[in-house]
Structure 1
Amino acid sequence: MKKNRSLWMVKLNTASIALIPAAVAINYIGKLFAETLKLPLWLDSIGTIFAGILGGPILGALSGLINNVIYGLTVSPASAVYGIASIAIGVASGLLAYYGMVGKLWKVIIFGVIVAFVSSIVSVPLNYIYYGGQTGNVWGDAAFAFLNAHHVNIILSSFIDNISVDAPDKIVSSIVAFAVFSVLPKRLITLFDNSQETTTLD
């Protein structure tokens, strides 16, 4: 019980405070890189996933939300709406890491697939409300157009549009995030250990 409670607690120290802007910067650069090169990926969740792995679901969620707000204010206003999806990605990443989905490559791939499904479930309703079911990614929207032309249900078309980009994106992002995490010194990782003295955000 104590272990589960510590999952939703944050140790408010210099390391935790520094993690959020670092994760936001990683997300911001990744998204700009993907959009500039028109990649079939978003690359805007590497920092969020990394923060979830290292700092837990709360820090992961905060990193994702703040990233979307900043990107929405500076580059693409629509990005702020998807802060909800980024919160879900951060929470899912923290939970999966907490329950042992780390270390082995096959676990990292499953980790990425699960995060992709969580992200898609949250994003598809937003895509439908704001963009008629499309994602804005040229590769995913090509799949949407094809399915729509063949009279496939718009919600299913939207989900396939989203997951066709989200799955490879979150798998790649998870692998990169775990690669960075794996080279961190243990002394740094222990700064985020919530099993001892913690401060809640309640």
Structure 2
Amino acid sequence: MEKNSLQNVWKFKLSAATVTLIPAAVGINYVAKAFAEGLKLPLWLGSLGTFLASMLAGPIAGAISGFINNIIYGLTLSPISTVYALTSIGIGIAVGILHARGWFASAKKVLPAAIIIALVSAIISTPLNVIFWGGQTGIAWGDALFASMVAKHVSIWIASFVDEFVLDLLDKVVVAYLAFLIYKQMPKRMIYFFKGNEN
């Protein structure tokens, strides 16, 4: 289990390490999301940098990274992305808390952590989907499931949540394991540096 206590997880210091980490995390999010959209993958990948920032520097750093990325991505490539800045904040907070509690300590624990993060993401995103896009997500196979459920007179809120959750589940499992593997390959000195323990 990570040695970070829950008492320390909310500590946020705008150190040189954090100032370096947040733009890097935003860049990772941006490139990963553009890559997924360019290849029309059935997932987003746009929270990889948020995961890493939260794991390295805590939930506030992750939330800031996710929020900034959504704003920049929305202003440059996809206006839709701006709406989901709130979702990215939720993801950053969830990852940071779960990481501090040891949920990313082993490959076996990453799966349930990813499911929890997918739930958080879906709960925040569903009202946004309903308000702005009639309940759809913009991913074809998820929206096909949504249309099928609505045709069977399922509530638009339930259909939208299922649409969002099945996509989030796939996306967050892939991103969680990618972040886990990257984090495990980082030198301990680098991890301590970003956590504010340069000694």
Alignment partners' CA distance in 2, 1:135 and 1:111: 23
- Corresponding residue to 1:87 among 57, 72, 89: 89
2:8 aligns with: 6
Q: Which runs of 5 or more residues in structure 1 are unaligned? A: 197-202
SS at match of 1:44: coil
SS at match of 2:17: helix
Aligned CA RMSD, in angstroms, stands at 1.7
Task: Report % sequence identity.
Answer: 50
Q: Tell me the CA shift for residue 4 of structure 1.
A: 3.4
Q: Determine whether 1:111 maps to 2:113.
A: yes
1:199 aligns with: none
After TM superposition, the structure 1 = structure 2 runs for residues 132-171 of structure 1, keeping only pairs within 5 Å, are 132-171=134-173
Q: Which runs of 5 or more residues in structure 2 are unaligned? A: none
Larger RCO, structure (CA 8 Å, separation 6 or more): 1
Alignment partners' CA distance in 2, 1:23 and 1:195: 20
Q: How many equivalent pairs are there?
A: 196
SS at match of 2:104: coil
Q: Tell me the CA shift for residue 160 of structure 1.
A: 0.7
SS at match of 2:86: helix
Change (3 A) 1:88 1:115: same
Q: Determine whether 1:60 maps to 2:62.
A: yes
Name the aligned partner's letter for residue 183 of structure 1: Q
1:40 aligns with: 42
Name the aligned partner's letter for residue 42 of structure 2: P
Alignment partners' CA distance in 2, 1:160 and 1:195: 42
Q: Return the TM-score normalized by structure 2.
A: 0.93
Alignment partners' CA distance in 2, 1:187 and 1:11: 18
Deviation sequence 1:101-122 (CA, Å, 0-9, x none): 0232121111111110000000
Q: Tell me the CA shift for residue 3 of structure 1.
A: 4.2
Q: Return the TM-score normalized by structure 1.
A: 0.92
